[in-house]
Chain A
């Protein structure tokens, strides 16, 4: 049964997933464009790091995009068919959801492997100034964790009902509204930064997305 779910998810997602996998392979290669300049100057290392830092934003963005797409694809057919197929199966719901989750996660592996190979290739071909090091495996591991985490979050949201999604949106909107009202009333409470910090700083769930995404670094 898992094979059939995997096959159908592959069929539904391949047209979009394949370009994203290619993007994951190409991203590290694009990020080292500035490396290998034969005009070695004292500023080259700094310019290279600054260029890599700019490209670094693309890694979490790509991870989020792929994860969102795969999570939506995993449930879209069930939503359209009002879950009749799933309900007709002689298995508990958690078992079915686990197989959907597993099939999506397996397909995400292709993007991780593509990025790892791209990073290894980029690190191998780029001329890296003395004192800097390439981290192809570390960046691939980090990309994998970010990708699976984003996938799990979006999968949980899309697995729920429209009402659940509404609750999530209402909570986010409520926080923004409270912040605006407090500011209007002259009460300076940094509610959004506080919540943002709890999410982004360790041990918050989105901590893996923060920090430096540098293929080459000190």
Chain B
């Protein structure tokens, strides 16, 4: 009896083999993954609806790929804000913003108790919030969601939010200040125009970032300035401050350290990459798991990473903050206005 069943199972498996082999085809696999993603999205929305029906009556506001569950009294405010937020998200993240549809958000104002809905990403605003404030909060929350969807390497590299809502000119001016002040040999060489040094300063260099980004004296200063909670590293820190560069490297490798240029600089590079690479650039950057960061940037921007980094450097140099010095034309204009105002005073009607 058992022997007969075994043959029957073997025959069944053998008859299904062609179908299994076909299912491994990449196109079919992508299609199935897409179907799976749609099912997951439907399930998430269904769960949200079920929760909504069970606990409290809630409305769903949609704008682009944004799905926001909200109390009926706040729906008008959120509807108005979500349009603005979606436009902003779409322009910031391109096609990657569409992935937000699989993460419905729960919006509520501070004050009344939070709606009892689990599984939804919370977005909170002040009770006196305007539609502009709500749009800001929605963009911020959506940025966090998009960041969480990216793989850890990119998410850690870009910092707390993928792309903050700061005008590019202000962001570039801040980075310019870093470019001329950051205590790093790589940053100084980047300012002078070396693409490799810029890559090292941004944490994209191929090799040991502690060696690429800093010289021996800078490594020593870096260790000397972060001496909290040393623990077992105390002897190495002491040796480093006494001049042992290998000890400094040991400490830095053990404790970890940031690239010489801050998250502002890194985010400005991401922004430029998205501008260069088009609407799908962020997807290529955030999900190319098998590649190094610099390869992903090249792929995302659609150009060699050196060209991308040099373009970034040019943009930063051009955004140099205007110092207090004034151009002669402006000084003459001011003098002209002084004379003109003086003439107005001398021609006053008081004695006529």
Interfacial residues, chain A to chain B (CB-CB below 8 A): 39-42, 45-46, 49, 83, 86-87, 93-94, 97-98, 101, 129-133, 135, 138-139, 141-142, 145-146, 148-149, 152-153, 155-156, 159-161, 164, 202-203, 205, 207-208, 211-215, 217-218
Contact = CB atoms under 8 A, between A and B. Distances in A.
Contacts of A139: 324
Contact of A218 (B177, B331, B347): B177
A149 B337 contact: yes
A215 B225 CA distance: 28
A58 to B, nearest CB: 14
30 contacts: A40-B183, A40-B225, A42-B262, A45-B178, A46-B177, A98-B346, A130-B181, A131-B180, A132-B181, A135-B323, A135-B324, A138-B326, A141-B331, A145-B331, A145-B334, A145-B335, A149-B338, A152-B338, A152-B341, A155-B341, A159-B345, A160-B348, A161-B348, A203-B333, A207-B333, A208-B330, A212-B323, A212-B324, A217-B324, A218-B320
Q: Size range of the interface on B?
A: 35 or more
B177 A160 contact: no
- Closest 7 A-B residue pairs measured CB to CB? A152-B341, A45-B181, A131-B180, A131-B181, A156-B345, A94-B346, A159-B345
Contacts, number: 128
B345 A142 contact: no
B181 A202 contact: no
Contacts of A212: 321-324
A141 B335 CA distance: 12
Given A130-B181, A135-B323, A208-B326, A202 B349 contact: no
A156 B181 contact: no
Contacts of B330: 202, 207-208
B26 interface: no
Nearest to A74: B345
Contact of A101 (B331, B333, B345): B345
A171 to B, nearest CB: 14
Given A152-B342, A156-B342, 10 more contacts: A45-B177, A83-B351, A101-B346, A130-B181, A141-B326, A142-B326, A149-B337, A152-B339, A156-B341, A218-B181
A40 B331 CA distance: 37
